[in-house]
Chains A and B, each alone.
Chain A
Amino acid sequence: MEKLSWIEYQELGTLQRILYNIRRFLAAIPAFFVGIGKAIGRGVKTAVCAVGRELRDLFMTLIKGSWRTKISYLIMGFGNFTCGQIVRGAAFLLFEIVFIWYTVTIGAGWMSKLDTLGDIAAGEQYDPILDTYVRVAGDDSFKILLFGGLSLVFCIAAVIVWRMNIKQSSENDEIIKSGKRPQNFKADIHDLVDAKFHKTLLAVPLLGILLFTVLPIVFMIVVAFTNYDGAHDGFSNLFTWVGWKNFGELFNTTQSNLNYAFKHILGWTLTWAFFATFSNYFLGIVVALLINKKGIKFKKVWRGILVLTSAVPQFISLMYMSKLFAKNGLISGFLQQVGILDAPFDFWGNATSARILVIAINIWIGIPYLMLIATGILMNIPEDLYESAKIDGANAVQQFVKITLPYMLFITGPYLLTSFIGNINNFNVIFLLTGGAISDPKLTVGGTSATDTDLLITWLYKITTGADSNYKLASVVGILIFIVVAVLSLIVYNVLPSNKNEEDFQ
């Protein structure tokens, strides 16, 4: 798609301009994916180079290093001990002893079973003393995967620590060569509150993220390649590796329900996220403009009323709204009294009404928050922009379209993206509003029934908590949510006018 010159662009009508921009955006997408491919290639290249450099360093140090560094290859911490760094040396040595002891006694056993995730199924064995068959436990695939995986992580950590130990030792060599003394323990401690303060501060939070987010996510990604579910729970029935089968089933169009349900839910997730984000966004700006309009009194009161409603925990309003529009709910009852309805109507039982309602209620939930954000930004728009627009004879709508909106969009671009992603994962609004709605038999997968308003995230929840605990499918869906979010973020991030430089403020 040719880029038009400025003059040519000015000659286009409004509609043509929009079309032109959309076409340019679409035309840029292939190049964007090529760019991602190249970036991944570059990343792999950098990583391979880094590993190569490390290996070369290790080899060179082994040849050229001092005797204490050479011994450090076998006895960790030796280089520290001989330079007077007792505490560091002791830590390294202790680590080595614990690692070897653990791996030999426990870790190796778990890791050796990782390839099949267990061979001995639980079964019954004849007990001659009791003269009956008793149940004996076999392997537990879940534990093998968990502890085997953790042992592997421990091994990787050991390699890194081992590398650190050699690096420190050869650094000590350099320091001694230059005639100084290696840093003692007291200086190490001082470093932790000063030069290396970041390590002290980040230690606990990063450990938490590692244990409670990273490792579980890695584990669940791995589960997507097994047949782990309620029928293969690991201890009464082993589960094992199945490769890409789970993904294949999801994308296999002949697998009627699963594929249909996935496409249906993915489509609605994106539709919902689009409408939920932009309806809130524009209406929020409009409400903020109304409140901030010149000559309007009691601004604080109007704002306060809206903020007050956002103070009430969401789940209360959501559950209440859910019952309000239910079959025997107030709205249905009221409409019957007035005579509009002649029988109770379940707003959640019908796909169209349920979908419109969740978007409408989401507007009700979200506007106070958006109004606050918009108010903060609107106050920063230079007043003279509006003054000159007025002199040029622009009316209120023109001012909104030409000044307010572009300014807002420019500033809140990143917010819109986060909000869009937040809506893709907006569990509460969908689940608490429509949790008990009638489900579509075509959306039923195994023991899990989904509804027309289900998002991927609520589907994931239902799959996990469903009767057949389909963990493998849950993992696949989780990975797909990640892919959707990641691709969207990358595209939007690249389209945004400016990738802000974070150093600008400082």
Chain B
Amino acid sequence: MSEKTSKKLKSLKRKTMTGNIITYVILAIISIVWLIPFFMIVLESFRGETTMQVGYVFPKEWSLKNYAALFAGSDVVKYPKWYLNTLIIAIAVAIIQPIMVLCVSYTLSRTRFASRKLLMNAMLVIGMFPGFLSMIILYKVLSSLGLTGTGAIWGLILVYTASSGMGYYVSKGFFDTVPKSLDEAARVDGATRARVLFSIIIPMSKPIIIYTILTAFMSPWGDFMFASYIAHNTSEGMNVAVGLNNMIGSASSLAAHYTEFCAGGVLVAIPITILFMCLQKYYVEGVTGGAVKG
């Protein structure tokens, strides 16, 4: 190697080195920016000296009393009840919604029938209406059945799951990629369509089923719009999001409950995050696959 080329190589190496260092710095900054709010919320949840908002992050007095206050409960704070409500809703939705989605997506992907295109277009158009629009009448009907206010859990489960068949896109995208020859071979052997679904397609679809269950389980935790409307200011029927928002809704309640709100947030975030991390692989597959196939 001549001296010239080795010099060139060295300068190239230096160039990539500086490039990498800049990238590391940017990535480190990004990581800090993205993680810092969570550190702050955890730190503030342990603050013992005051329940108000303050201009510093690190507690002067570490304490668990915010957590204790959440579980002691009061007229305003019914945290265990909210938590249980949300958990029940999430589990019910995680069971029912994937079944609905699976039925619709499998049918639209693997079977051909006369009104199929019409059905898909109709669902696309219906999906363009804001979902909240239908809540006004649904609320009136559900409340006459006693499924709002204190009975909001059941009303919400109905609202979340009844129309969930419309969210079939990601799952259909998955089924579209499963070779049709599999079905055909089984059909030639005399299997009914139902048998093809249960003994061939479902065992193959573990990733997409887990993805659907995971997203179905997570969505009720974050819903505010429907939950607040159905619960209708009855603190018995609220989910965590509505309850916590209510807890810090006015200036006076904010001052009294701010650190408790942080503690409540931490308690929701921990189990969800752990669950999410365990199933991350499936989530990533679903997200990337779903976006590509539209």
Q: B244 interface residue, CB < 8 Å from A?
A: yes
A219 to B140, CA, bound (A): 12
Chain A residues, CB < 8 A from B176: 502, 505-506
Chain A residues, CB < 8 A from B128: 421, 482, 485-486, 489
Q: What bracket does the count of chain B residues touching chain A fall in? A: 35 or more
> Which of B16, B134, B224 touches A212 (beta carbons < 8 Å)?
B134
Please give the number of chain A residues whose Cβ is less than 8 angstroms from any Cβ of chain B in the complex: 100
> Which of A205, A321, A412, A464 touches B291 (beta carbons < 8 Å)?
A412
> Which of A317, A481, A482 touches B37 (beta carbons < 8 Å)?
A317
A461 to B57, CA, bound (A): 34
Chain A min CB distance to B90 (Å): 11
In the complex, the answer to whether B225 meets A206 with C-beta atoms within 8 Å is no
Q: A474 interface residue, CB < 8 Å from B?
A: yes
Q: Using a CB–CB distance below 8 Å, which chain A residues touch chain B?
A: 142, 146, 190, 193-195, 197-198, 200-202, 204-206, 208-209, 211-214, 216-217, 219-220, 223, 287, 290-291, 293, 295-296, 302, 305-309, 311-317, 319-321, 323-324, 326, 328-330, 332-334, 336-337, 364, 367-369, 372-373, 375-377, 411-415, 418, 421, 425, 427-428, 431-432, 435-436, 456-457, 460-461, 464-465, 471, 474-475, 478, 481-482, 485-486, 489, 500, 502, 505-506
In the complex, the answer to whether A428 meets B31 with C-beta atoms within 8 Å is no
> Which of B103, B129, B268 touches A204 (beta carbons < 8 Å)?
B103
Chain B residues, CB < 8 A from A302: 27, 30-31
A375 to B292, CA, bound (A): 11
Chain B residues, CB < 8 A from A486: 125, 128
Interface of B is mostly: helix
A412 to B284, CA, bound (A): 16
Chain A residues, CB < 8 A from B131: 213
Q: In this complex, what residue of A is CB-closest to B218?
A: A313
A301 to B24, CA, bound (A): 12
Interface of A is mostly: helix
In the complex, the answer to whether A217 meets B133 with C-beta atoms within 8 Å is yes
Q: B165 interface residue, CB < 8 Å from A?
A: yes
A364 to B29, CA, bound (A): 13
In the complex, the answer to whether A461 meets B132 with C-beta atoms within 8 Å is yes
A489 to B128, CA, bound (A): 9
Chain B residues, CB < 8 A from A425: 130
A261 to B166, CA, bound (A): 32
Chain B residues, CB < 8 A from A413: 294
Given A204-B100, A208-B162, A296-B23: A464 and B288 interface contact (C-beta under 8 Å)? no
Q: In chain B, residues 156-212, which have Cβ atoms closer than 8 Å to a Cβ of chain A?
A: 158-159, 161-166, 176-177, 179-180, 192-195, 197
